[in-house]
Structures are given as structure tokens and as C-alpha cells.
């Protein structure tokens, strides 16, 4: 079939034809912002995740901002992982919080509870625990610490929608959980997020504030949709295998900056002095309809990706040079990718490319080391090392197991196994 010997792409976004055509049909029929579908999605999500209620926001990061603004006093500290999306740090700062970067554990890439314990003090306003790569943080230990000091615990579950720890959905264990419904996530409504919380007074405050905003503009969503369309076309196997792959492979093997930047998603590393105009907007009924149509699929998708992750784990766990994500018996992680770490990441990635595989590095930075956040600098040696070592092995639902086996074979060969 594949005469070029090219692999399947490293990632695909979760789109359906509906993701595109319903945008135009909703606009034509004048129902883009009409209908009670946001409320419907909020209720369906709350019911599925076993919480009293949920509130949709324009983006996860905006949810983090709104929640912090209501939970902390200006100038209070926010304990958080430095290994996350830089714009999340901006939201903490814009909510008048002071980010306190707290080092992570290497295997999970998430907050180390022992480090959290060291940094909690009387000026701590909140703790944000991120469940990165779909792998749960040690959330029950962090929760115990927060309870002991009467500090609210916020879970950034943007990459863990649907995952569980001890049978409970990630995001519903602390006081507040925030999910992403953005383009690169397992429910894709182009932009969006959802907040769940124990305290309905907090959610009511969010609702009251959101009611003052305009709906997100179709133009803003359209721009993202066009990026999505380009991504869908370029990663469509009939285009990817004869064309896209070879271009990006060439760029990567020859260190050509402008080509490599096309596939990086974490390029906005600036300190934001003010909230961008398009952030404080309402989630639209159009987006909610898209999200609602995907909600029932997520658990089946998680099962599928868990099997793919298990394949990698079984065959790679014998390679002591590789650091694999942890696995907990009573937990169910969603594995949007299978994130492994190796100290000479570049060398392994180039080997994979030369062997005609398509695998990429995690481009998230250790925000504690970024120039833009130097006012909040803290030495986080594990995050520094990890940010240079994470490799994202594909697990998306359309990725064939035969490709996983090839990845494994090539990695084993690299290590002489
Ligand atoms: C994607 C992501 C976000 C931001 O989500 P948006 O909906 O794009 O704001 C925040 N935190 C983590 C860990 C993410 O992966």
C-alpha cells in the first residue's frame, strides 16, 4: 500500500466532518449562539463525572484565571508545576497571584508532594496540580496537604479529560477541576474549557461574570478551524505519506528552524501584561453542540489508548535507559500520548526519523527557567531535566497498533535490544 515507506503521523486532531460543516450551517441558519446547548453540555458533563455542576469557559486558561481571581487575595502565592503551558503562568499573574514554581517528579512529570509541603506557607492562596500527559499527579497526597493548611486545590486536568484516580474522575478530587475542550485535546470544540467545583457559590460567581461577556466571535474560531483544516489535510495519510512527512523529516534531520517551528505548539512564551481581548468571552452553543456530540465517546477512546499505552509499556519497560510514566492499579489514565524520557532525546529522535518513524519531543518548557518569568525564578532541577528529555509516543485512536510495534522495534534497536 504505502510505496513511500512513510509512517503514520505523530499526531492527529480529534475532528469529524461535523466539526467543519456545522460551523457554516450554524452561521447560515443564524443559530451559532442560539439554543441551550451550553447548559446541556454542562449538565451532561456533571452527570458523567459525578459532580453537582459544571461551567463552560472560552479556554481552560481563562477558567484558571477566573477561578483564581475568586479564590485568592491579590499577592498570594500559587503553588504550581513549572512544567506546563506558559500561558497558564500568565493567567496566575493576571489574576494577581504570585506563581511559586514547585519541582516535579521525573516519572509522572507532575508536582512532587514533598516539594509542595516545603513551599506551603501562610501566604499560599492556592495549589494548582496539573495532570500532564493524561497521567495523574499524586492528587490525594496533595489534597491531604491542602486540607491540613486549609488551602484550595485546583486540578488542571486539561490533558486528562476522563481519567480517574481511585475510581474518581481527575478534576473532581480537589476543590476545583478544569478541563480543556481545545483543538489538541480529546474533546475538540476548537476552543473551550469546563470548570467543575465543590463550591456552587464559586461557580455562581463565574456564571455571573461570564454573563457580562460577549460570545466568542466566529472569526476567532474560524482562524483556529482553518489551522485545524490545514493540520487535518497535512496529516491525512494520502498527503502525509508522500509529502508532509518528508518535508518535516528533512527539516528535523537538518535542523532547519523555520520548518521545525511549524510543528511546535508552545511558541508563545511572553509575559502578558494584560488579558488578550479574545480571552474573556463566552463559550458558544455551536461549540457546546460539538463537545456534546463527543462526550459519549471518551470512555471508549480512553480504553483504546490505554491498550496502546500498555503495548509500549510492555515492550519498553525492559530498557533501563528509558523513563516510563508510572502506572497505578486503582487508576485509569487517558494517555493522549505515551510520554517517555531519555537523556539524549535529540539523538533518539533523529534515529527514529532516520528509521522512517514520526515521533516528536514534548515542546513544553520548564517555565521556572524562562526569561519572561524570571521574577518568579526558582531552581527546579527535575523540571529542567525533564523538559529536555520527554518524547511523545503516539497513542491517538486512529494510530494503528502495527505502527506502535514499529516504533517499539526501532527504539529497541537504538538501545541494542
Ligand atoms: C492545553 C492545556 C492548557 C490550556 O488549555 P486551553 O483550553 O488551550 O486554554 C492548560 N494546561 C494544560 C496542561 C494544557 O495541556
Q: 3 falls in which pLDDT band (50, 70, 90)? A: low
pLDDT value at position 117? 98
Residue 12: left (phi > 0), alpha (psi -120 to 50), or beta?
Answer: beta
Count of other CB atoms within 10 angstroms of residue 105:
19
At 331, give phi and psi (nearest 5°).
-125, 160
Residue 222 lies in a domain: no
In tens, the pLDDT along 347-391 reads 999 999 999 999 999 999 999 999 999 999 999 999 999 999 999
Average pLDDT over residues 265-294: 93
pLDDT at 167 over 90: yes
| Three-state DSSP class for residue 108 | coil
Q: What is the mean pLDDT of residues 163-169?
A: 97
Determine the atom of ligand 1 nearest the C-alpha atom of 88: 10
pLDDT at 299 over 90: yes
Ligand 1 pocket test: which of 63, 88, 91, 366 has the largest number of ligand atoms within 8 Å of its C-beta? 88
Q: How far is the CA of 135 from the centre of ligand 1 (A)?
A: 15
The pair phi, psi for residue 39, each rounded to 5°, is -60, -40
Instruction: Choose, from 185, 308, 332, 365, the residue flagged as catalytic.
Output: 185
Match 478534576 to its residue by C-alpha cell.
171
CA 89 / ligand 1 centre spacing (Å): 11
Max Cα-Cα span within the chain: 64
Provide the number of structural domains found in the chain.
Answer: 1
Q: Which of 83, 133, 159, 192 to mutate to test the pocket of ligand 1 (most atoms within 8 A of CB)?
A: 159
pLDDT, mean of residues 5-31: 95
Give me the domain span that covers residue 54. Answer: 28-210
Quick one: pLDDT at residue 123?
98
Over range 77-83, report the average pLDDT.
Answer: 98
How high does pLDDT run on average in the chain? 96
At residue 155 the predicted structure's pLDDT band, cuts being 50, 70 and 90, is very high
SS3 88: helix
Atom index in ligand 1 nearest the CA of residue 183 equals 8
Question: Which atom of ligand 1 is least distant from the CA of 130?
Answer: 13
Whose Cα sits closest to atom 5 in ligand 1? 60
Q: How many CB atoms lie under 10 A from the CB of residue 184?
A: 15
Please give all residues whose beta carbon lies within 6 A of any atom in ligand 1, as ranges.
59-61, 84-85, 88, 130, 132, 156, 158-159, 180, 182, 193
Q: Are 42 and 317 within 8 A, CB to CB?
A: no
Q: Would you say residue 255 lies in a domain? A: no
Task: Report the pLDDT value the prediction gives residue 266, as an integer from 0 to 100.
Answer: 72
The answer to whether position 366 is within a domain reads no
Q: Are 374 and 366 in contact (CB under 8 A)?
A: no
User: Has residue 122 been placed in a domain?
Assistant: yes
Task: Quote the CA–CA distance of 153 and 127 in Å, as a whole number.
Answer: 5
Task: Give per-residue pLDDT as tens, 302-340.
Answer: 999 999 999 999 999 999 999 999 998 889 999 999 999
Query: Taking a C-beta distance cutoff of 8 angstroms, is the pair 375, 367 a contact?
Result: no
Q: Which residues contact 254 (CB under 8 A, 6 or more apart)?
A: none
Percent of the chain at pLDDT > 70 equals 99
- Three-state DSSP at 370 gives coil
Is 60 exceeded by the pLDDT of residue 1? no
- Answer yes or no: is pLDDT of 15 > 60: yes
For residue 20, being part of any structural domain is answered with no
User: 285-322 burial, b for 16+ CB within 10 Å, e for fewer?
Assistant: bbbbbbbbbbbeebeebbebbbebbebbeebbeebeeb
Catalytic site includes residue 185: yes
- Confidence (pTM): 0.96
The ligand 1 atom at the shortest distance from the C-alpha of residue 61 is 9
Residue 264's pLDDT is: 76
Whole-number Å distance, alpha carbon 37 to ligand 1 midpoint, is 23
Asked whether residue 203 is domain-assigned, the answer is: yes
Q: What's the confidence (pLDDT) of residue 44?
A: 98
What's the CA-to-centroid distance between 180 and ligand 1, angstroms?
6
SS3 state at 384: helix
Residue 348 lies in a domain: no
Burial class, 258, CB count within 10 angstroms (exposed 0-12 / middle 13-18 / buried 19+) = exposed
Q: How far is the CA of 313 from the centre of ligand 1 (A)?
A: 26
The helix/strand count (H/E) of the chain reads as: 16, 13
Q: Give the CATH number, domain containing residue 55.
A: 3.40.640.10
CA of residue 262 to ligand 1 center, whole Å = 19
**What distance in angstroms lies between residue 216's CA and the mean position of ligand 1's atoms?**
17
Say if 305 falls within a structural domain: no
Q: What is the pLDDT of residues 215-236, one digit of tens each?
A: 999 999 999 999 999 999 999 9
Query: Predicted confidence band at 259 (pLDDT cuts at 50, 70, 90)?
Result: confident
Which residue is listed with cell 463537545? 291
How far apart, in whole angstroms, are the C-alpha atoms of residue 251 and residue 257? 7
Counting ligand 1 atoms within 8 A of each CB, the residue from 182, 275, 278, 339 with the most, and so the one to mutate, is: 182
- Give the number of the atom of ligand 1 that is nearest the alpha carbon of residue 185: 1
Instruction: Name the residue with the closest Cα to ligand 1, atom 1.
Output: 158
> What average pLDDT score do residues 69-74 get?
98
What's the 3-state SS for 264-284? CCCCCCCCCCCCCCCCCCECC
Residue 57 β-bridge partners: 193
Amino acid at each position: 500500500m504505502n510505496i513511500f515507506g512513510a509512517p503514520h503521523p505523530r499526531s492527529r486532531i480529534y475532528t469529524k466532518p461535523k466539526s467543519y460543516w456545522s460551523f457554516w450551517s450554524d452561521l447560515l441558519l443564524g443559530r451559532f449562539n442560539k439554543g441551550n446547548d451550553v447548559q446541556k453540555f454542562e449538565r451532561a458533563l456533571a452527570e458523567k463525572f459525578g459532580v453537582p455542576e459544571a461551567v463552560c469557559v472560552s479556554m481552560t486558561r481563562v477558567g484558571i484565571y477566573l477561578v483564581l481571581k475568586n479564590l485568592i487575595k491579590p499577592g498570594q502565592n500559587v503553588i504550581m508545576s513549572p512544567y506546563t503551558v506558559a500561558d497558564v503562568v500568565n493567567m496566575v499573574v493576571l489574576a494577581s497571584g504570585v506563581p511559586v514554581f514547585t519541582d516535579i517528579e521525573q516519572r509522572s512529570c507532575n508536582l512532587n508532594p514533598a516539594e509542595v509541603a516545603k513551599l506551603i506557607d501562610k501566604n499560599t492562596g492556592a495549589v494548582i496540580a496539573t495532570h500532564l500527559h493524561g497521567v495523574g499527579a499524586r492528587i490525594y497526597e496533595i489534597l491531604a496537604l491542602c486540607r491540613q493548611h486549609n488551602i484550595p486545590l485546583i486540578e488542571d486536568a486539561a490533558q486528562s479529560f476522563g481519567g480517574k484516580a481511585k475510581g474518581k474522575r481527575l478534576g473532581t478530587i480537589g476543590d476545583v477541576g478544569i478541563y480543556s475542550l481545545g483543538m489538541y485535546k480529546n474533546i475538540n470544540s476548537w476552543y473551550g474549557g469546563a470548570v467543575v467545583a465543590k463550591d456552587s457559590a464559586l461557580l455562581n460567581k463565574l456564571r455571573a461574570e461570564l454573563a457580562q461577556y460577549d460570545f466568542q466571535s466566529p472569526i476567532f474560531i474560524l482562524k483556529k478551524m482553518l489551522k485545524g483544516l490545514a493540520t487535518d489535510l497535512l496529516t491525512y495519510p494520502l498527503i502525509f505519506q508522500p509529502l508532509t512527512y518528508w518535508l518535516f523529516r528533512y527539516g528535523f534531520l537538518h535542523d532547519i528552524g523555520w520548518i521545525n517551528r511549524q510543528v511546535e505548539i508552545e511558541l508563545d512564551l511572553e509575559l502578558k501584561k494584560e488579558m488578550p481581548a479574545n480571552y474573556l468571552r463566552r463559550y458558544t452553543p455551536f461549540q457546546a453542540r460539538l463537545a456534546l456530540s463527543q462526550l459519549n465517546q471518551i470512555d471508549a477512546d480512553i480504553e483504546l489508548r490505554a491498550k496502546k499505552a500498555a503495548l509500549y509499556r510492555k515492550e519498553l519497560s525492559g530498557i533501563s535507559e528509558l523513563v516510563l510514566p508510572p502506572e497505578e492499579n486503582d487508576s485509569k489514565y487517558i494517555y493522549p500520548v505515551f510520554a517517555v524520557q531519555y537523556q539524549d532525546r535529540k539523538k533518539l529522535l533523529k534515529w527514529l526519523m532516520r528509521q522512517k518513524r514520526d515521533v516528536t519531543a514534548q515542546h513544553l518548557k520548564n517555565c521556572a527557567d524562562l526569561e519572561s518569568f524570571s521574577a518568579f525564578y526558582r531552581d527546579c532541577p527535575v523540571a529542567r531535566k525533564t523538559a529536555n528529555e520527554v518524547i511523545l509516543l503516539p497513542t491517538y485512536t486512529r494510530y494503528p497498533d502495527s505502527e506502535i510495534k514499529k516504533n517499539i522495534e526501532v527504539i529497541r534497536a537504538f538501545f541494542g535490544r
